[in-house]
Chain A
Amino acid sequence: MEWLEYDFMKNAFLAVLLITPLFGLLSTMVVSNRMAFFSDSLGHGAFTGLAIGAVVGIISPMESLILFSVVFALLITWIKNKSSASTDTIIGVFSSTGIALGLMMMSYGGGFNKFSNYLIGDVLSITTQELASLLLVLVLVFIIWGLMFNKLLVLSINQSFARSRGIDVMLTEGIFAAMVAVVVAISIQWVGLLIINSLLVLPAAAARNVSNSVKQYHAVSIGSAMISGISGLILAYHFNMAAGATIVVISALIFFITLLLKPRFVR
């Protein structure tokens, strides 16, 4: 365990232990609610959030990013519930507007380079203070997940069925969307914009291949997210590769293995 002797590796290791269960958990309902496209658009919207923060200057890019992402997510949820247009179209419009607007503002005055680390992400750069805030987010998400998961599950089965069981569809969707938005916003600088959505999709996609019940689904999703996170970080250190990308490649590998195992597991 010589790699743990470095402080930056110790912090990165702790960060992976905090981020991966978070993504494994949220992943279950991102996949079940067919929200992969939505969570992807959050990353795109993040461009605008960061740029606004940099241009306005009153708040930090990070605060601006979180605020903007939540508003962005709630707006999409609201319009989706009010409009008759297809969900994919609505999200697509928001997504492309978000990225274009962000790029336009970032490139203003040739200052694009200072944002480039958000594209790839760098988990080795995480500070102790950031770890503490990550832990807080993890605890909050687990609490909210404990309180509202059952509703979210019924909603994931069928919307009008959920309504007939007295569930407020828009409120439930809104809370979930905002939660995903916050997690994406705070993790983007460590995971990177380009691959963050893979971490929200792959763990549950793999878990779905080998689970029959909600409990198995969660266990496998969180487990595979953590395994790919830890092994990805170690591999990246030894072979000097980008940690985020290595983690995603291992997640994808796990997905393909579960796909092969599917006939053996799913009844």
Chain B
Amino acid sequence: MLKRLFRHSKGEGNDCSKLCCTKIENFTVKVGKLTIFEDVNLHVHCGQLTAVIGPNGAGKSTLLRAILGEISHTGTLKYADAKGKHTGKPIIGYVPQYLKFDVSAPITVLDLFSACRSHRPIWLMPSNIRDEVEESLKRVKAANLIDRRLGALSGGELQRVLLALALNPMPDILLLDEPVSGVDQNGLEIFYNILEDLQNNEDMAIILISHDLNMVARHADQVVLMNKGVVCSGTPEEVFHDSRTRRIFGMLTEGGANHGGTGFVWVEHKKKKHQQGCGCPDCAEAEGDEE
């Protein structure tokens, strides 16, 4: 718990001058006459994990692509870092939700990295960045995948490989669009552990679209509920207790006995001060902290 509190105080302090600070102001995206979302404001600091949640069609993925500059939008992105290194023009890393590709393609993970990171023609010469790629993959617990064919990766493995690619070069802002399905619980756990490592050891702000409210409740510092605009934002506790969140995710709050699935289970659970021996990950974490 201590680490968690520390992270929060670091993130939530209003002293923007000492941290790298990203302000997204009045972002609006319109396609023709259709408004995808409007007046989105986000304030994110380095070391913070901001989770964006919301129903399908809320404009979450579009928001990330607007931040990337892939989609035309109104509003401004202001970025300043403490040392003024990339002020105004942050390096942005992006992990897309899905990578649709031909699974029969004869392309290895090393091929993908070399093609993205090197100008040396990979069909002709041996890769000159193998060590570098191995190092990047180690960070996402995927070093053993370096010679694997892309089509032979599981959903979770592909997500980690794409994350490693997004961390190269190390970004100031990392945008993650989590797949709705295709990543198993174990893969999800590894993924969030990697994010925690990045939060603690790198100078970057992470904005994550997630569909797993349970994971959001446990790992996010800031939660933004989006539905064609920001509905509410704050700490996970604040947002998950907000009546608007309950209305949007209403149907998910039923049947609270089940531990999997929603963040509400977790919030409810906290109030009961953790029943003895229920064995859920939150309990294990809380017990560990008390020692």
Contact = CB atoms under 8 A, between A and B. Distances in A.
Task: Please indicate whether A and B come from the same complex rather than being unrelated chains.
Answer: yes
Interface of A: 28, 32, 34, 145-147, 149-151, 153-154, 156-158, 160-161, 163-165, 207-208, 211-218, 266-267
Nearest to A218: B123
A158 B101 contact: yes
Contacts of A150: 114-116, 118-122
Nearest to A220: B106
B101 to A, nearest CB: 5
Given A158-B100, A158-B101, A164-B68, 7 more contacts: A28-B123, A34-B102, A146-B121, A213-B106, A214-B115, A215-B122, A266-B106
Contacts, number: 84
Given A213-B111, A267-B152, A149 B116 contact: no
Given A145-B121, A150-B122, A164-B96, A217 B101 contact: no
A217 B123 CA distance: 8
A214 B104 contact: no
B123 A212 contact: no
Given A157-B112, A213-B111, A214-B111, A32 B105 contact: yes
A153 B112 CA distance: 8
A34 B102 CA distance: 10
B82 interface: no
Interface SS of chain B: loop
A267 B105 CA distance: 11
Determine which residue in A146, A153, A156, A218 has the highest number of CB atoms from chain B within 10 A of its CB, and name it. Answer: A153
Contact of A216 (B96, B104, B106): B106
Contacts of B119: 150
B149 interface: yes
Contact of B106 (A151, A154, A207): A207
B70 interface: yes
Given A153-B111, A164-B68, A267-B149, A32 B121 contact: no
A145 B118 CA distance: 14
A157 B123 contact: no
A130 to B, nearest CB: 27
A149 B122 contact: yes
Contacts of B111: 153, 213-214
B70 A164 contact: yes
B231 interface: no
Contacts of B100: 158
Contacts of A163: 70
A267 B150 CA distance: 11
A125 B115 CA distance: 41
B251 interface: no
Most buried by A among B106, B112, B121, B149: B106
Contact of B102 (A32, A146, A160, A165): A32
Q: Considering residues A154, A160, A161, A218, which has the most beta carbons from chain B within 10 angstroms of its beta carbon?
A: A161
A212 B105 CA distance: 8
Contacts of B150: 157
B34 interface: no
A61 B77 CA distance: 56
Interface in B184-200: none
A214 B114 CA distance: 11
B124 interface: yes
Contact of A153 (B104, B110, B115, B147): B115
B108 A212 contact: yes
B94 interface: yes
B252 interface: no
A217 B106 contact: yes
Contacts of A154: 112, 115-116
B96 A214 contact: no
| Residue from B102, B112, B118, B148 with most neighbouring chain A CB atoms (10 Å) | B102
Contact of B116 (A165, A208, A218): A165
B80 to A, nearest CB: 24
Contacts of A165: 116
User: Top 4 closest A-B pairs, CB basis?
Assistant: A211-B106, A150-B115, A217-B106, A218-B123
Nearest to A28: B123
